[in-house]
Structure 1
Amino acid sequence: MPTRPNYNQSSANHPIINTNNNNNLNQISIMNTNVDITSYVGKVLNINQHQVIVEDVLGQGGFAFVFLVRSSNQQRYALKRMYVNNERDLT
């Protein structure tokens, strides 16, 4: 059975926040793909009308990260952050 990298300790099985609003694509985007993804832990992200705090990194793939985030009402969610080349790739 494959194991998850130990970025930080967390639990799985969390609801998902939909972040597919094109008006806010750049709010959590970064230019450097060599960034240390653990640097996101503790950051506050504004996504549409939602504000979340990154608690953990759940996974990483070639074109995406999955974070464990907590909303202002203390609900936890999985947030997927994907790299895209341009807006056309989002459709």
Structure 2
Amino acid sequence: MVGAVTDLPSKREAKQAAIENCRSRGGVECTLTVAYVNQCVVIVASDTRYAATNAENAEVAAEIGMENCEKKKDGECRLYYAGCSRPVRVR
């Protein structure tokens, strides 16, 4: 199972919310895989595994993630999740 959240004010809050999201979807051993700020992340899945890739935008992250997945030849690779953390103005 995978859990994901965006737009939370701290890494601690985001980690806790992502793990709770994973558990609410039926996950048992939920752990943090990637945390990102002012970037985008994608999760690419194959028949046997998944991997998270982050980059400056979702298109670049998806391209890198799909290339890495296809190199492993674990079956069909597909984009499972894409999300971005946008910059926030701080006063």
Give TM class, smaller chain: under 0.3
More helix by share: 2
Tell me the TM-score normalised to structure 1 length.
0.26
TM-score (norm: length of structure 2): 0.26
Q: Which has the higher strand share?
A: 1
| Larger Rg over CA atoms | 2
